[in-house]
């Protein structure tokens, strides 16, 4: 057995012993199809046509060629409660998350959305059967936050006290929030804007859909979820 297999075997044993895992899941473009909505909205508001597959930058102002004022209008529209509630679920997200919760794991949705979006975001989760998933708004993007002067309900110092075993995230700009957890397995949800990014270490794995995420976690824990 190689060192790598040995160490993987060891991690599987640890995970089996520690049955209640803590799982971090990002909201936009992990749970729901936010970028597809913005692609349609850019046509409607500014006549800018960039199909989903061509959204190669995480920064939407860069992707759609928007000036500061346009970007602000764009973000305000995209964060209106009725819009947040309308985002389509990424196929399989709620059923896989509910399976994980039913196996005793704790799932926390850690979003970079501002706290002003908390209530409709909570409602979206509830409408999609995710009442048992926690929800926190964390300032992931600093001064480049989606809406200016936003507030968040999870302070950085409190976030760093949390422990996670798995994370599902699509933005390479959020990877820095995983640096303090050397054993964390990061499942990068495949999106056009993260295809060129380099993964910081071998704990990162690209995932193509929720079925893929389900099977990786299942293999890792040895559970029949």
Interface with Mg ion (CB under 5 A): 26, 28-29, 170
The distance of Cα 40 from the centroid of its chain, to the nearest Å, equals 21
d(CA 90, CA 210): 8
Complex with Mg ion: residue 103 or 134, whichever CB lies closer: 134
Q: How many Å apart are CA 200 and CA 185, to the nearest integer?
A: 12
Q: Name every residue whose Cβ is closer than 8 Å to that of residue 205 and which is 6 or more positions away in sequence.
A: 185, 186, 187, 188, 216
Taking the C-alpha atoms of residue 47 and residue 41, their distance in angstroms, rounded to an integer, is 9
Q: Which single residue brings its beta carbon nearest to Mg ion? A: 28
In the bound complex, what is the minimum distance in angstroms from residue 31's beta carbon to Mg ion? 9
* Helix H or strand E encompassing 60: helix 60-64
Q: Which residues pair with 193 in a beta bridge?
A: none
- Shortest Å, Cβ 5 to Mg ion: 33
Among the listed residues 32, 169, 23, the one whose alpha carbon sits nearest the alpha carbon of residue 91 = 32
50 vs 138, beta carbon nearer Mg ion: 138
Beta bridge partners of 107: 23
- What is the nearest approach in angstroms of Mg ion to the Cβ of residue 2? 35
Nearer to Mg ion, 66 or 138 (CB): 138
Q: How far is the CB of 64 from Mg ion (least distance, A)?
A: 17
Q: Which is nearer to Mg ion, 15 or 137 (CB)?
A: 137
Judging by DSSP bridges, how do beta strands 22-25 and 106-111 pair with one another? parallel
**Least distance between Mg ion and beta carbon 112 (Å):** 7
Return the number of the residue (26 or 165) whose C-beta is nearest Mg ion. 26
């Amino acid at each position: 057995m190689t060192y790598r297999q040995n160490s993987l075997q060891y991690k599987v044993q640890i995970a089996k012993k520690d049955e209640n895992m803590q799982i971090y899941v990002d909201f936009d473009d992990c749970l729901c199809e936010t970028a597809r909505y913005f692609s349609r909205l850019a046509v409607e508001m500014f006549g800018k046509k960039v199909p989903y597959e061509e959204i190669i930058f995480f920064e939407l102002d860069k992707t759609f060629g928007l000036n500061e004022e346009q970007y602000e209008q764009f973000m305000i529209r995209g964060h209106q409660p009725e819009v947040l509630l309308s985002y389509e679920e990424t196929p399989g997200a709620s059923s896989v998350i509910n399976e994980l919760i039913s196996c005793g794991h704790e799932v926390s949705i850690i979003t970079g959305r501002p706290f002003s979006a908390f209530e409709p975001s909570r409602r979206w989760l509830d409408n999609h059967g995710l009442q048992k998933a926690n929800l926190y708004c964390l300032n992931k993007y600093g001064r480049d936050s989606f809406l200016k002067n936003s507030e968040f309900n999870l302070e950085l110092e409190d976030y760093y006290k949390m422990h996670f075993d798995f994370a599902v995230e699509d933005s390479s700009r959020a990877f820095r929030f995983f640096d303090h957890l050397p054993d964390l397995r990061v499942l990068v949800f495949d999106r056009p804007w993260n295809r060129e990014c380099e993964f910081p270490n071998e704990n990162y794995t690209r995932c193509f859909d929720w079925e893929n995420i389900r099977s990786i976690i299942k293999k890792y824990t040895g559970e029949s979820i």
